[in-house]
Structure 1
Amino acid sequence: MDTGLHNSCIECTKAYTESIGGRWEIYSPDGHAVMTITNKDKCQIRDCASQNLSKDHIFPIAKGGTDNSENLQVLCRHHNSSKSDTVVSPIIKSVGDVKNKMICERYLPILQKARKEKWSLKKFELEITKSVRELIIWKRNLSDEQLKNFFQNEKERNNRKHSVEHALKKFRQYCETAILEANEYIARNNRVSKN
């Protein structure tokens, strides 16, 4: 989304990208480079020779992931776009593989509980999805005036090109879709939480 609210936790994912010569530099909100993609980089998918590269989130933003360098990997655009925005990268095989900086601070208590109780990765994803859904529902219930104020500040801070009204419309559409997708995921995977 162009609004910057494609993620439920905007504070952890306000990165931006800049092209410098033959490389792409990806920056964090505080201006530190978190990733550089050069001509020497390769897609992380085995036997892929594509040079049309992009960053990919190991732990998806839709599941509370961040733009921290520990949560980024290089994939070609084909493999990145063919992968769902809600699929955790295959390099994550257990909760123990999830690093603290891969997920938003608000979800760290869930990660700590998952480690302590030795949850399966599926159960951890389910609990994170429930928490993300609750945050989206809370944001959806904000008044138009509250959201307009937020979007105006966001537009000024991040030099967004779209109008506040456009951002509000897109956000309202996003909320319904995101909640529906979260509910479907939870319904499909709820039996895992009983383990």
Structure 2
Amino acid sequence: METGLHNVCKACSKSYSESVGSRWEIVSPDGHQVIFITPKSKCKICGSRKNLHKDHIFPLAKGGTDNKENIQILCRKHNLRKSASIISPMIKSVKDIKPKMICERYQNIFKTAKKEKWSLKKFELEITKAVREFISWKKSLSDEQLKEFFVSEKVRNNRKHSTEHAIKKFRQYCGTAILEVNKYISENNKNLAS
């Protein structure tokens, strides 16, 4: 039942792949680190050798990179528990974050956070806002402009993704997830005003 590459059953492997598969198209992280889980690999937190996943210490959804400095091996339990949180045993404050863990496009926020000694929570809020603004900027591009963007990202990060597929997946994401987020924000703002 093990698939070998990630040491999980086929059903878990499929659901995990579906949940993380479009992140390159959506958040366009810097880097492209291929990590293989070997029989010697173990969870960074508990030491388990079962159901291991490649985890981004600083989440891609929060401006993290796919560089080796930002990758760790976690068991399924700890990876799912961590989710997209930046608070982990590895990161307790902004000073614990290495520059190579954050995408180049967000380095100005990172430098300001370190200089002004922001709390981790404030940094997380600011970088999350910047990632949302970046996604909105990409959404505003025409398909031709988006194709040019993805082509340059493929070259810069040594990716092999199909640009046509990337455009399709990104537009699908924009058609559902962004609308859901905007609806959620709108409803919560109304609740705050009441």
Instruction: Tell me which amino acid in the other structure corresponds to 2:170.
Output: F
Whether 2:174 is the aligned partner of 1:175: answer: yes
Offset at residue 131 of structure 1 (A): 0.9
Give the 3-state SS of the residue equivalent to 1:125 in structure 2.
Answer: helix
Instruction: Tell me which amino acid in the other structure corresponds to 1:120.
Output: S
Residue 108 (structure 2) aligns with:
109
Aligned residues of 1:130 and 1:182 also touching (Cα < 8 A): no
Offset at residue 73 of structure 1 (A): 1.0
Instruction: Tell me which amino acid in the other structure corresponds to 1:72.
Output: I
Cα shift readout 1:81-111 (whole Å, capped 9, x = no counterpart): 4432x21141211111111111012211111
Which consecutive unaligned segments of at least 5 residues does structure 2 have?
1-20, 189-194
Instruction: Tell me which amino acid in the other structure corresponds to 2:26.
Output: H
1:178 & 1:97 partners in 2: Cα distance?
A: 31
2:183 & 2:126 partners in 1: Cα distance?
A: 12
Offset at residue 163 of structure 1 (A): 7.5
Q: CA RMSD in A?
A: 3.2
Residue 15 (structure 2) aligns with:
none
Which consecutive unaligned segments of at least 5 residues does structure 1 have?
18-23, 25-36, 189-195
Residue 15 (structure 1) aligns with:
33
Instruction: Tell me which amino acid in the other structure corresponds to 1:61.
Output: L
Residue 20 (structure 1) aligns with:
none
Offset at residue 150 of structure 1 (A): 4.5
1:44 & 1:139 partners in 2: Cα distance?
A: 35
Give the 3-state SS of the residue equivalent to 1:55 in structure 2.
Answer: strand
2:106 & 2:179 partners in 1: Cα distance?
A: 18
Residue 26 (structure 2) aligns with:
6
Distance 1:109 1:4, change over 3 A: closer
Instruction: Tell me which amino acid in the other structure corresponds to 1:44.
Output: K
2:122 & 2:182 partners in 1: Cα distance?
A: 14
Offset at residue 152 of structure 1 (A): 6.4
Aligned residues of 2:26 and 2:135 also touching (Cα < 8 A): no
Q: Structure 1 length as normaliser, TM-score? A: 0.68
Distance 1:105 1:180, change over 3 A: farther
Residue 28 (structure 1) aligns with:
none
Aligned length, in residue pairs: 163
Residue 85 (structure 2) aligns with:
87
The structure in which a higher percent of residues are strand is: 1
Correspondence list, 1:58-137, <5 A: 58-84=57-83, 86-91=84-89, 92-137=91-136
Q: Structure 2 length as normaliser, TM-score? A: 0.68
1:170 & 1:75 partners in 2: Cα distance?
A: 27
